[in-house]
Amino acid sequence: MLGHLLPRPFRRSAGRSADAAPLRRRYDSASGYFAKSSTPEGSTLAALLTDNPILRLDHDRFGFRTYVEQLHEIVANADTLPVTVGVFGPWGSGKSSFMRMWQDQLAFAPENRALWFNPWKYDQKVEVWAALLQSLLAELATEETAARKATRLASAATWLALRLGVGASVSLATGGAISAADVAAGAQQLAATNADYYRELNRFEIDFAEAVAAYLPPEGRLFVFVDDLDRCTPAAAVNVLEALKLFTGDARCVFVLGMDYDLLVQVVAGRFGGDVTVDGAAYLEKIVQLPFFLPEISFAEIRRSVAEHVADLADHDPFWTLVRTGFGNNPRRIKRFVNVLTLATSVLARDASPAGARTDLARRMQLARLLVVRSQHRPFFQHLLRNPGAWQALLEPQSRRGTDLQAFAADGELLRLLGAETASGGPALPPTAGEVSRLLTTVRLAAPPATGS
């Protein structure tokens, strides 16, 4: 399927230069960060991190570039098309960034074209497979040499939508590329005769391949990036996968699907559930010719990418141990945590209560610990809301603990999060009940209840 891999040297376009430094307070869309704003000297506040994907190869922070270039090299030399590539990774692992960087890689091969499709935007509004198909046809129609065939294909697609009961909603798929009038006319023709439309549908694959060929320069390929497929309803996700096989034929296309492999396997099995046993993994193997499991981003890379946003905690190793314990190597979850901590720190800084002998660093560590506990140890967090003294009591010798804490005392990870062990080997000074109450107030003001974070 993929043919022999022929080396192709990597060349940077001569006209492409490095981005200038972003303006202060301006959002840098390529890097996914807001530029630092000016703050009073000594302030612990930092710029917020966005969840936007990395858009440029030059802004790679996670070590993806080598994999992007290698994967593109393999696909670019595939001798049989279409090819479907699965970019697999769990939620928040960087799939969108990887795919956007691949899209940027196409700038070095001007004969190729790219279309980006987010199926979850259409889920529960129109049939997602119809939205994908119409988006493809709308893109083909932008090239004069392919416009005629694309229009003819749109008629066949409208017929198919009507046969499947989609109706007028198909016009929403591309903001009216297929109008309500087109759908109405199609309905009339459908009522008059089905024979012509059956013949049109039987030629759909051939016509689509010819339209793609007319749209592309010689030797070019149409890369279709389908992101966040696993955010759709099970029915919509499976329908998109099936549409890729049913309608694209031998077109010169490369479909790149970003999805959570394990979740999609469950979705497929559930979609065809009932009395029929379906192997979700085997089903995906029939759709995806080239599976690529996203490499886990090293924690060191994530730390470097967000360190400047945690101010005085940047070089504090216990903080990073806490972060890794709570959120692993998932960049999205870590960025969300850092943003919440930044906001909570701002709220805490306005607390006029005396800090006692604790430094600002110690208070921020306590706040960070509480945020991780709220996310990862909900029962104990709920217990703290009722009994703020439980934090201090849990770190007391066993003989001095209350019976209501025995279950929590058996949780070694929780004890470490609360500061039972520090880098120096001894326990951290636990916050008093009054301090915990203030921290809880800060968390309630700065961050809503955690839901799966």
Query: 170, 203, 174, 207: which is closest to 185 by C-alpha?
Result: 170
pLDDT for the residue 153: 80
CB atoms within 10 A of CB 434: 12
pLDDT for the residue 299: 94
Residues 307 and 284 reside in one and the same domain = no
Tell me the mean pLDDT in the region 196-214. Answer: 77
Domain contains 5: no
Domain contains 22: no
Tell me the mean pLDDT in the region 410-429. Answer: 72
Tell me the mean pLDDT in the region 33-58. Answer: 64
Residues 124 and 192 reside in one and the same domain = yes
User: In the block, which residue shows the tokens 């109008």?
Assistant: 179
Strands of the 253-259 sheet, one edge to the other: 113-117, 222-226, 253-259, 83-88, 290-293
Q: Which residue has the higher pLDDT, 70 or 396?
A: 70
Q: How confident is the model at residue 20 (pLDDT cuts 50, 70, 90)?
A: very low
Residue 208 has pLDDT above 70, yes or no: yes
Domain contains 314: yes
84 beta partners? 255
Residues 319 and 430 reside in one and the same domain = yes
Residues 248 and 310 reside in one and the same domain = no
pLDDT for the residue 172: 40
Can the peptide bond before residue 82 be classed as cis, meaning omega within 30 degrees of 0?
yes
Distance CA 139, CA 150 (A): 9
The domain boundary residue, chosen from 293, 323, 354: 293
Residues 226 and 271 reside in one and the same domain = yes
Average pLDDT, the chain: 77
Domain contains 6: no
Residues 225 and 351 reside in one and the same domain = no
Domain contains 8: no
Distance CA 267, CA 248 (A): 23
Lowest-confidence pick of 54-63, 191-200, 388-397: 191-200
Residue 370 has pLDDT above 90, yes or no: yes
Considering the chain, what percentage of its residues have pLDDT values greater than 70? 70
Distance CA 314, CA 18 (A): 27
CATH code at 244?
Answer: 3.40.50
Q: How confident is the model at residue 195 (pLDDT cuts 50, 70, 90)?
A: low
Domain contains 245: yes
Question: What single string gives the DSSP state of each residue in 247-304?
Answer: H-TT-SEEEEEEE-HHHHHHHHHHHT-TTS---HHHHHHHH-SEEEEPPPPPHHHHHH
pLDDT for the residue 35: 42
Considering the chain, what percentage of its residues have pLDDT values greater than 90? 36
Residues 269 and 322 reside in one and the same domain = no
The domain boundary residue, chosen from 258, 293, 328: 293
Distance CA 2, CA 133 (A): 25
Domain contains 7: no
Residues 243 and 266 reside in one and the same domain = yes
pLDDT for the residue 196: 59
Residues 201 and 336 reside in one and the same domain = no
Number of domains the chain contains: 2
Residues 310 and 281 reside in one and the same domain = no
Residues 315 and 282 reside in one and the same domain = no
Residues 276 and 348 reside in one and the same domain = no
The domain boundary residue, chosen from 293, 326, 354: 293
Domain contains 41: no
Domain carrying residue 237 = 57-293
Q: What is the pLDDT of residues 22-40, one digit of tens each?
A: 333 344 444 444 444 434 4
Q: What is the pLDDT of residues 284-312, one digit of tens each?
A: 888 899 999 999 899 999 999 899 899 88
